[in-house]
Structure 1
Amino acid sequence: MASNPPAACCASGFKHEGSPLGEIKDINGVNTYIASPKDNKNPDKAIIFLTDIFGIFSNAQLLADEFANNGYLTVIPDLFQGDQIKVSDMESGKADLPAWLPNHQTANVDPVVEATVKYVRETLGVKQVGAVGYCFGGKYVCRFLKPGQIDVGYSAHPSFVTHEELGAVKGPLSIAAAEVDQIFTTQLRHESEDILIKTAQPWQINLFSGVSHGFAVRADLKDPKQKWAKEQAFCQAVAWFNEHLSGAGKANL
């Protein structure tokens, strides 16, 4: 694998403070959080936000709001159909990943991503689609980085990506990696570099020191080192989309 399956570190981290500004809609039976740019109600570019195992929760919503602040309509589908890992279970240490994962394989998740791409492209009329994937969601950025599906991808500390999925990407891909990561390990990161070189697609891997798996979405913001890394990983994503989704504006960084 280009990254290992989700492990205990996937069910750890910190809940961030703030009030999400977007709205949750039922899109063809899937709860979907939508964050819209204030000054562009009919954008021709959008970002599909593929979450970690906690699904649509405040940290993800606040990040989606920030992508919207940078001009990108951002859509978060509920990949887990209401069966996400609860933040309370993370906080109490009761999250049971081995029991949860079998119900959330590609056969379960692919249709949700496919329907979201179709909604964004056909119903909303978006011409260019980027995708961000955190932990669990990183696998599906790779799986859908194909013509007519996802045009540009970004993933932070991806989980469960196979060599075949990474090698099959057909668009620009940026990855934010943690120095301490039992899932996207040093060896697998180096293997991923070799794979991406062979794809002949634009790619980037940024490595952040002093942080661990999950930092880009569940960092301890009271720790200056983690806070800086999280913010820089976000800047990395916005800069990547600004460069590779043509006509995108400059980031509000």
Structure 2
Amino acid sequence: MANGNNETPCCIGDRLEYGSMGRELKVGGVDMYLATPKTPTKKGVVVYIDVYGWKLPNTRYIVDMIANNGYVAILPDVFEGAEPWSADRDWSGFLEWVKTKDPNKIHPVVDAAVGYLQQECGVEQLGCVGFCWGGRAVHACLVDRTDFKCGVAFYAYGEPMFPVILENLRQGFKMLRD
């Protein structure tokens, strides 16, 4: 995808002006955004952010849409307070920045999110969804974890790794892209 005149893997598109229906909370020292459906459910979804961070209104809108469709949805700050990427930054530094954000090292944050969903929300069935960088997090979780039944990645950054990743998946997986 392109951002301005620079070829980059991430494009923020239009930033939504959105107020959110969920709430922020802190779980195990990690900031998270939680949205719940109107009727009780035992199904939950962990949503993984793209490089723009957990406070981006666009991502919270997706979390709220998932909740409006009957799932408890949680968006953990997998960057653990570190500065997310900003579309205003010089894109020539993006690849160096993203190297410091390894989706294979987010499992402690995911443990906190999953624990909250199970213990506080009564969730018994889990799925995950991710966008761009978050798509890579979906892959990492489906390869390394057994608590997710399925995952969906939208335009997952790092597509050359797919043959290796798909070979190791134990759960259902769907890749969506434009």
Q: Same fold (TM over 0.5)?
A: yes
Residue 15 of structure 1 is matched in structure 2 by 15
User: d(CA) in 2 for partners of 1:116 and 1:68?
Assistant: 16
Q: CA deviation at 1:38?
A: 1.8
Residue 47 of structure 2 is matched in structure 1 by 49
Of stretches 13-22 and 128-137 in structure 1, the one that deviates more from structure 2 is 13-22
Aligned residues: 167
- Cα-to-partner distance string for 1:14-34 (whole Å, 9 max, x where unaligned): 201221111010010110000
C-alpha contact (below 8 Å) 1:53/1:84 kept by paired residues: no
C-alpha contact (below 8 Å) 1:36/1:68 kept by paired residues: yes
Superposed counterparts of 1:1-253, under 5 Å: 8-40=8-40, 43-56=41-54, 57-86=56-85, 89-90=86-87, 92-95=88-91, 96-106=93-103, 108-145=105-142, 148-160=146-158, 162=161, 163-178=163-178
SS at match of 1:80: coil
SS at match of 1:54: coil
TM-score w.r.t. length of structure 1: 0.60
C-alpha contact (below 8 Å) 2:35/2:67 kept by paired residues: yes
Q: For structure 1, list consecutive stretches of 5 or more residues without a partner in the other structure.
A: 1-6, 179-253
Of stretches 59-68 and 143-152 in structure 1, the one that deviates more from structure 2 is 143-152
**Which protein has the larger Cα radius of gyration, Structure 1 or Structure 2?**
1
C-alpha contact (below 8 Å) 2:132/2:157 kept by paired residues: yes
Percent sequence identity over matched residues? 26
Shift >6 Å, 4+ stretches:
none
- Cα-to-partner distance string for 1:108-148 (whole Å, 9 max, x where unaligned): 42322233223323443311001111011111212222663
Change (3 A) 1:27 1:124: same
Q: For structure 2, list consecutive stretches of 5 or more residues without a partner in the other structure.
A: 1-6
Amino acid at match of 2:62: L
Change (3 A) 1:84 1:52: farther
User: d(CA) in 1 for partners of 2:158 and 2:113?
Assistant: 21
User: d(CA) in 2 for partners of 1:145 and 1:123?
Assistant: 23
Give the helix-richer structure, 1 or 2: 1
C-alpha contact (below 8 Å) 1:11/1:53 kept by paired residues: no
SS at match of 1:154: strand
Two-structure CA RMSD over aligned residues (Å): 2.1
User: d(CA) in 1 for partners of 2:104 and 2:174?
Assistant: 25
SS at match of 1:24: strand
SS at match of 1:10: coil
Change (3 A) 1:139 1:9: closer
Change (3 A) 1:107 1:142: closer
- Cα-to-partner distance string for 1:64-89 (whole Å, 9 max, x where unaligned): 11111111110000011122435xx3
